[in-house]
Amino acid sequence: MSTATETTVQMLNVQIDGVWTQVPAGTRVIEACQTAGKFVPHYCYHPKLSSPGNCRMCLIEMGMPKMGPDRKPELGEDGKPIIGWIPRPQISCAQNVAEGMGIRTDSQMVQECRHGVMEFLLINHPLDCPICDQAGECRLQEFSVEYGNAESRFLDEKVKKPKKVELGPRITLDDERCILCSRCIRFSKEIAKDDVLGFVDRGSYSTLTCHPGKKLENNYSLNTVDICPVGALTSNDFRFKMRVWFLKETKSICTGCATGCNTIIGSREDKIYRQTPRENEEVNSCWMCDHGRLDFHYLHREDRLKTPKIRRGNTLVDATWKDAYDAAALALKKFSGEQIAILASARATNEELYLVQRLAAALKPTVIDVIARPGEADGILVSADRNSNTNGARLFKITGETPGSHTPVLAEKVNNGTVKALICLGENPLDAGIKPEALAKLGAFVVMNILPDAATPQAHVVLPSAGFAEKRGTMINGKGRLQRLNAAIRPPGQAQVDWEILRDLILALTGQNGIYTIEELFKQMAAETKPLSGLSLAGVGDQGTLLAL
Amino acid sequence: MVAPLQNPPHPKERRLLFANLARPDFTNDIACSLKHGGYEDLKKAIKMKPADITAEVKTGAVRGRGGAGFPCGVKWGFIRPDNTKPVYLICNADESEPGTFKDRYIIHQDPHQLIEGMVISCFAVNAKLAYIYIRGEFPEGAKILEKALDEARTKNFLGKDILGSGFDCEIYVHRGAGAYICGEETGLIESLEGKRPYPRIKPPYFPAALGLYMCPTIVNNVETLCHVKHIIKMGGAEYAKLGRPNNTGTRVLCVSGDVMKPGNFEVEVGAVTMGELINDMCGGLKPGRKLKAIIPGGSSAKVLRADERFKLKSKDADGNPVEKEIGIEDIVLDFDTLAAIGSMAGSGGVIIMDDSRDMVETLANLNEFYAHESCGQCTPCREGSLWMKKITARMVEGHGADSDTATLKSVADNIAGKTICAFGEACAWPTQSFVAKFREEFEAKSKPTAVAGDGHHDEPTESEIALAGVEQ
Amino acid sequence: MSMQVPADFEAKIDAVILRYPVSKRSASLPLLHLWQERFGYISPYAIEWIAAKLELEPINILELVTFYPMFRQKPVGTCHIRVCRTLSCAMAGGYGLMKQLCEKTGIERPDHPDHHDPIAVSSDGKWSIEFVECLASCGTGPVCMVNDDFHEAVSPEKIGELVAHYEEK
């Protein structure tokens, strides 16, 4: 996943559909065609996996220069080699280009090959489109349009196979739909390092399965659903939930750990239906882990914090945003810096953390830190650091070199009463070691969060904020890459995006005039932060930007 | 079980490999083999330079006897001279091509001839470890080979420092378990590696470069390896005088089907015509029967129609191109002629069919074989082989449809040339050739012919397929 | 349900593995043969045991057991018959041979055995039968195997003899 330093790559002369072009040596023929604008239909080939060449859909015509008696290529009138075309079609997924190679992607022979393979794939394929999740993003459907027949001439009975196999806790397999491309088997073996899938039986009865004693349940299992070209492997979480053509696709990143896998959030009308990985060579190739992929349902919990609340006596009552900010400011102004602590989050965006830094500048709290989440890296994608923006927290001095090192101090000061005003931004103070009794004794307790936790009932002011899929912003992953989040859905009820809450809180506290757009905020933040200088939010790009931290 | 050889041999036979098998008192132990010249040629070869052995094999120009007919010496020469990886030799003893029954007898009756040929070949290509991949259905053969290998070891024909040459070589028997596709060399290699025997894509997995364990590997048929011994024995030049140019040596023909005397006939390649084979050597057809069809080289070879006329191109005495038309009985049984007339010499399995046979049922029998044996790796063969089987099965049962003949041809055309391995051609050629050459029989069945009142079956019963047209 | 693997059996297994110095996985087929010869068929335990022995995943062995027709996952009769069905033997009477062998041995064999279940077993467990593809003895058809014994030119007259021979044992 890191770029190889390129010195000089040899360029080869290749003729594609009559046009001579230069292609870097080491390029797969099918990729060379793609770059030349000639998409070659395929099923079993995947650029990140080994190439078995079994679907036969990528057959093309290939040729090499005709050699003269002097062992040199014969040249035509145009001074270019004359191609001797191989009578048999060749697959394009398992060979690299060679000097003087000729390729035809669209001849009559190629068309016949594709029609033939298409027909073969469909004769035993069940007519499941109306109930199949893959509809709309199915390669059989897609290539049928160009290469399929309107009517079938298969008059016999289709092969029957198991249709609802519980392959694992998150995956259901329909063996009749399977076209035996083996992508899932290769992925499990080569990428997830969990050799748990295989084919049993033989010939047309070959069937994909897991050994009866095992399951497909590793933390990367759902990638097989992504790469399955048909609806054989389906995600239990998504099965039958939504037609893919209704989904709005929003580019974002996962916030489950410091890797920051690039994602696409599939949503419709403020509800997320699924997340899928988005290719980024520098971060996650084209995979993501199951845990991060499925970790969005909490955004749709019924008990989301939707209304600002202010404490009246023993209870929290609904309030307007203005009243909530005023109440918070009023409560906090009673205390001096040594009596104030801020518990921030290393899962917040840079924009939010920048504003937290401004808030801290205004309040001068005695201690400010985050909750560290150390874990174990799995050697594939999951980082040891389970916070998604530790680097951002460091950059904006919300935490020190070792994240969370001051948090025990923060907890102690709250517990022993030194700190009387606590601002909790996106974290549960009980997780920091703060005791519930201590919370009850606080003179000012302002909470900004998306879901209620055990501490929420103790708050004096509750500010409902936005989840990762409901806001824009940037985060810096564990390798120093600045990446963008985008909003796929709106926060529920009256909840607001966090950076606007912080801006308005600062406004209420200091009277400082606010910033109105996130682009302006980024610009200001970049101007004041050396590693970000010169960048704009748009300029970060969909693939992110590596920073010099 | 003994090889079905004629005694005395037909004058046109030339028993080189089957000489021992024809002896009534010949037994498969090493003592008997040694009495009849066993391992003499190993003793000769082990004193030669490996490159010289390969040169003799190239001069002898023996072509593979497993079915592909690829020149053995050329295959050995594909190993790169600068190769540093271990080289493996594998004897393909997976004899499974329908109509072929020769390797069985070499293995069971004269295993030492094979072992000798193998050790010579290992020495030539510098293979220190070799395997005999024997089909699982030859359990007795495997035991015979194990015993023979042990005997060879005791005599230092195998093992460390063979005959004091400094060359170490070990051979083990490896049993298959009932899969025809293990006869395909890369399928065999995958099977030997302990995986499902899915043939490999070529390029890049040419066995001489990336074979067993991704090392250079030579896979040779049982009979071919025996020929190596004889090439060393008589010298490549002498060997090449047998047979015809480019079709040298002898080969064991296997004749089965509707002849009076089926069996094995070892002849110089091209020394007999089809007519001589059937009429002179096999005693002709059954009484009252006429020839209808011949499969000349194992079931994968394209069928020949008895009344077909074949065009042959050749050159006359002055070198001018000449085209001749011949009948089926005039076909010379060598590799080039059979290829020229649109079929192949293949494995040497000749299947004769007389006019009592129904061609649709014959094809149905073969289609079932191929559908059963398809490994299922690649789309056209996996789906197409079973499709063709279902069509011919349905036609045999009497539930043919208008489109069946055209569909059969089209499906076969969509398989051949589009697959990972030659099994695609193997399963398509029978359908292509039977439908093309016996069109009228297929047209006749491309409509419902079941008698009203027949119970409807999804598929024909096996007895229906087999018994109809099979006269005892 | 696990069972103890006899020590002498395991010794044979270990000896076979040594024949494949480059990769233990190559010993998969030989081990399956040894197991089936000793215990009659490949059980789920066999698959796990062999996989563990060769440091493989069970799926790697299951893939083989279901691919190769010679391996069976259920017990067969004391005498297991394999009848060749391919062209030359069919022409010589292979299908008739199957029918008569079933009659003589009391096996009720369905007309269309399921492809997962090609072996028919007699109710007394003494006999079982299946069709196999070309056994490479086309010149002396029809042929069949009874366990490891090979029988050629099994004409209708010889069938009775053949069955009787094994019933005696």
pLDDT tens for residues B52-65?
Answer: 999 999 999 999 99
Domain segments of chain C: what residues? 7-65, 79-167
In 3-state terms, what secondary structure has residue B279? Answer: helix
User: How far is A204 from A269, CA to CA, in rounded Å?
Assistant: 43
pLDDT at A468 over 70: yes
Q: What's the average model confidence in pLDDT over A290-296?
A: 98
CA A196, distance to chain mean position in Å, is: 25
Classify residue B52 as exposed, middle or buried by CB count within 10 Å of its CB (0-12, 13-18, 19+).
middle
Backbone angles phi and psi of C106, in degrees to 5 = 75, 30
pLDDT at B366 over 70: yes
The closest CB to that of A54, out of B377, B407, B417, belongs to: B377
pLDDT at A30 over 50: yes
Residue among B89, B48, B92, B94 at smallest CA distance from B171: B89
Look at residue B450 in the predicted model and tell me its pLDDT: 73
pTM: 0.94
The closest CB to that of B376, out of A59, A116, A203, belongs to: A203
Task: Name the closest residue on chain A to residue B371, using Cα atoms.
Answer: A203
Flag the least confident range among A264-268, B349-353, C108-112, C145-149.
C108-112
The interface residues of chain C toward chain B in range 4-33, judged by CB-CB distance below 8 A, are 19, 21-30, 32-33
pLDDT at B463 over 80: no
pLDDT bin (cut points 50, 70, 90) of residue A513 is: confident
Q: What's the average model confidence in pLDDT over A133-160?
A: 94
CATH of C79-167, one of 3.20.190.10, 3.40.30.10, 3.30.365.10, 3.40.50.720: 3.40.30.10
Is the Cβ–Cβ distance between C97 and C144 less than 8 Å? yes
The CATH-assigned architecture of domain B30-244 is: 3-Layer(aba) Sandwich (3.40)
Q: What is the mean pLDDT of chain B?
A: 94
pLDDT bin (cut points 50, 70, 90) of residue B316 is: confident
Is the Cβ–Cβ distance between A111 and A105 less than 8 Å? no
Q: What is the mean pLDDT of chain C?
A: 95
pLDDT bin (cut points 50, 70, 90) of residue B466 is: low
pLDDT bin (cut points 50, 70, 90) of residue B461 is: low
Token pair of C93 as six digits: 């009477």
Look at residue B212 in the predicted model and tell me its pLDDT: 98
Look at residue B469 in the predicted model and tell me its pLDDT: 44
Look at residue B375 in the predicted model and tell me its pLDDT: 98
In 3-state terms, what secondary structure has residue C48? Answer: helix
pLDDT at B468 over 50: no
Q: Which is higher by pLDDT, C162 or C4?
A: C162
The closest CB to that of C59, out of A201, A205, A210, belongs to: A210
- Eight-state DSSP code of residue B342: T
Look at residue C111 in the predicted model and tell me its pLDDT: 87
pLDDT bin (cut points 50, 70, 90) of residue A8 is: confident
Residue among B434, B372, B443 at smallest CA distance from B406: B443
pLDDT bin (cut points 50, 70, 90) of residue A7 is: low
pLDDT tens for residues C87-146?
Answer: 999 999 999 999 999 999 999 999 889 888 999 999 999 999 999 999 999 999 999 999
Per residue, what are the HEC states of C100-136?
A: HHHHHHCCCCCCCCCCCCCCEECCCCCEEEEEECCCC
CB contact under 8 A, B195 and C69: no
Domain segments of chain B: what residues? 30-244, 251-354, 359-469
* CATH number corresponding to B359-469: 1.20.1440.230
- Which of B372, B394, B431 is most worth mutating to test chain C (most C CB atoms within 10 A of its CB)? B372
Flag the least confident range among B305-319, B427-441, C13-27.
B305-319
pLDDT at A24 over 70: yes
Look at residue C112 in the predicted model and tell me its pLDDT: 85
Look at residue B390 in the predicted model and tell me its pLDDT: 98
Chains that touch B (3 or more CB pairs under 8 A): A, C
User: How far is A376 from A197, CA to CA, in rounded Å?
Assistant: 26
The closest CB to that of B379, out of A56, A89, A94, belongs to: A56
pLDDT at B235 over 90: yes
Look at residue B319 in the predicted model and tell me its pLDDT: 85
Residue among A61, A161, A121, A144 at smallest CA distance from B380: A121
Q: Nearest C-alpha of chain C: how many angstroms from A114?
A: 29
pLDDT tens for residues A80-107?
Answer: 999 999 999 999 999 999 999 999 999 9
Token pair of B137 as six digits: 């259905």
Sheet strand arrangement including A444-449: A315-318, A309-312, A461-464, A444-449, A421-425, A340-343, A367-369
pLDDT at B472 over 60: no
Is the Cβ–Cβ distance between C36 and B178 less than 8 Å? no
The interface residues of chain A toward chain C in range 301-340, judged by CB-CB distance below 8 A, are none
Q: Nearest C-alpha of chain C: how many angstroms from B372?
A: 9
Look at residue A267 in the predicted model and tell me its pLDDT: 98
The interface residues of chain A toward chain C in range 193-222, judged by CB-CB distance below 8 A, are 195-202, 205, 209-214
The closest CB to that of C59, out of A202, A205, A214, belongs to: A214
Give the percent of chain C with pLDDT over 90.
93
Name C4's Cβ contacts closer than 8 Å, sequence gap at least 6.
none
Look at residue A515 in the predicted model and tell me its pLDDT: 87
CA C97, distance to chain mean position in Å, is: 18
The yes/no answer on whether domain B251-354 falls in CATH 3.40.50.2000 is no
Q: What's the average model confidence in pLDDT over A10-37?
A: 97
Look at residue B457 in the predicted model and tell me its pLDDT: 46
Q: Is C66 on the interface with A (CB under 8 A)?
A: yes
Q: What's the average model confidence in pLDDT over B195-213?
A: 97
CB contact under 8 A, C152 and B1: yes
pLDDT at B455 over 70: no
pLDDT at A3 over 90: no
Q: Which residue has the tokens 């199951």?
A: A290
